[in-house]
Amino acid sequence: MRRVLILGGGFGGVATAYALRQRLPPEDEILLIERRPYFMMGLRKTWAMIGRGTLEEGRRPLKALERLGIRVLQATIHAIDPANRAVEADGQRLEGDAMVIALGAELDPDAIPGFREHAINVYDPQEIPRAAEAVRAFQGGQVVIGIFGAPYKCPPAPYEMAFLLKDFFEARGIRAHLSVFTPQPMSLPVLGAAGCSVLEGRLAEHGIEFSPNQKATSVEAGAVRFGERRRPFDLLLGVPPHRCPEVVVRSGLTDGGAWVRVNPRTLETRFPGVYAIGDITEILLPNGMPMPKAGVFAEAEGQVVAERIAAVFAGREPMAAFTGEGFCYLEMGRGEAMLVRGRFLADPAPEIELTEPSSRYLEEKRAFEAERLRAWFGE
C-alpha cells in the first residue's frame, strides 16, 4: 500500500484527490488534510454579498469525499518536512510516498495599517455577512473597491464585484460612485495592454472609475492613504495583501522567496516526490509575468500531478504536463458574463481571448460550480 498526502482542501487539493482516486488502486491511501470542515469556491463570496444565493449553498463537507475512498483528516498543519515527505498535524506525524502541497495563499490584512479597522475584507468568507449588511444599508456616496497588494487570488474578482454592485445600487435607485484602485499598472496585466483596454473600457461604460498604480500605505476612518494623498470613501471593500502560509515558508519550500517555485510543466518542487500546486506557487510565464492565482489552474495542475504520481507508482515514466491553458467567467452585470480564455504558458507571451459579454457565459459559470460540486461531493 502506498500513501499520498494532500495538504489543503481547496480547489487544488480536492481536484488532486479526486483525480488520484480515479487512477490509483483501492489499496493505495489518499489522505487529504485540511483545517476547515468544508469546501467552497471563491465565486460564492460576491454572490452572497449582493444577495444572489448564500455561502452555505456553495459549501460541501469535505468528509463527503470519503464516499469515494478518500480519507479526510480535519487538522491544522504545524510543520512540513518535504525531505521526508512528512507532515505534523495536530500532534500526529504522517509520512507519504508522495506529497502534494495545496495550502493556498493566506490573507494578510495586518500588512496595511488600519485595514482591519476600517475596511471590509471581501476575500474573507467570515466577513461576507458584514459586507452584505453594509451593502444593503448603503444610502449613497463613495464606494471604493481597493486592491491592496499583488499578486492576489482570482484577479478579475474585484472588477466583477464593481460591475455587480453597480447593478445592485442602480436597481434600488441608490446614487453610488464606484471606483476600483490597484497597485498594478493596468487592471489585469496578464491580459496585456489590448485586453486591459477592453476591460477598462467596460468599466468606464458602466461609470466605474479605475485607478492604476495606486499603492495604498494605510487606511484611516473615511479615507485610504497613498503616502500623503487621501482617497475618501463611505464604504471600503478591500482585497488585502496575500502571502504564502508561514508553515510552508518554514519548511524551506520557498527557498527564501515569496512563493514556492516549481517546474511549470510538472509542478515538482526541488524535493523528490513533493509537488506544489495552486495559489502557493509562483510559475513565471515566458514573458516574466506570474501565472494568475485562480482555481481553474489549481484544478488543472492537480490533474497533472495525479497522473504523474499514478505513473510513478505503476513504474511508468510520467508524461503528463501542465499546458497553462485556462479560462474564467468575468461577470459584467446586466445578466451577462465575459469569457476569458487562453494559453498562459505560450511563448513569448500569453495568448488570450476575451469574448463579448453574453448571458450564456453567466449560465456556464453557474454550471462550472454545480458540476464540480456534484462530481466531487455528490448530490
Q: How many CA atoms within 13 Å lie on the side-chain side of 324?
A: 22
* Non-local CB neighbours of 316 within 8 Å, separated by 6+ positions: none
The pLDDT of residue 173 is 97
Phi, psi of 215 (to 5 degrees): -95, 105
In whole angstroms, what is the distance from residue 15 CA to residue 298 CA?
Answer: 8
Work out the mean pLDDT of the chain and round it to a whole number: 97
At residue 32 the predicted structure's pLDDT band, cuts being 50, 70 and 90, is: very high
Mean pLDDT of 30-38: 98
> Could you identify the residue written with the cell 500569453?
350
CATH 1.10.1670.10 is held by the domain 109-242? no
In this predicted structure, the answer to whether residue 379 has a pLDDT above a threshold of 80 is: no
Quick check: helix, strand or coil at residue 192? helix
pTM of the model: 0.96
**Residue 35 identity (one-letter amino acid):** R
Whether 251 and 82 have beta carbons less than 8 Å apart is answered as yes
One-letter identity of residue 83: A
Q: Is the pLDDT of residue 70 over 90?
A: yes
- Say yes or no to pLDDT of 15 above 90: yes
Average pLDDT over residues 247-276: 97
Query: How many contiguous H segments (helices) and E segments (strands) does the chain have?
Result: 9, 25
Query: Can you tell me which residue has the cell 465565486?
Result: 43
Distance CA(38)–CA(54), nearest Å, equals 15
**pLDDT score, position 96:** 98
Region 164-177: mean pLDDT is 97
Pairing state of beta strands 351-354 and 336-343? antiparallel
Residues paired with residue 187 on neighbouring β-strands, in sequence order: none
Extract long-range pairs of 282-289: CB within 8 Å, 24+ residues apart.
Answer: 282/257, 282/258, 285/190, 285/324, 285/344, 285/345, 285/349, 285/350, 286/345, 286/346, 286/347, 286/348, 286/349, 287/348, 287/349, 287/350, 289/189, 289/190, 289/350
**pLDDT score recorded for residue 232:** 98
Residue extent(s) of CATH 3.50.50.60 domains in the chain: 3-105+244-323, 109-242
**Which among 292, 378, 376, 379 is positioned nearest to 11, based on CA atoms?**
376
CA distance 291 to 309: 23
- Note the pLDDT of residue 371: 97
Rg (CA), the chain: 21
- For domain 3-105+244-323, is the CATH number 3.40.50.2300? no
Taking residues 16-24, what's their average pLDDT?
A: 98
pLDDT tens-digit profile of 287-341? 999 999 999 999 999 999 999 999 999 999 999 999 999 999 999 999 999 999 9
Peptide bond into 151 cis (omega under 30): yes
Q: What's residue 146's pLDDT?
A: 98
Contact call for residues 329 and 364 (beta carbons, < 8 A): yes
Tell me the pLDDT tens digit for each residue of 77-102.
999 999 999 999 999 999 999 999 99
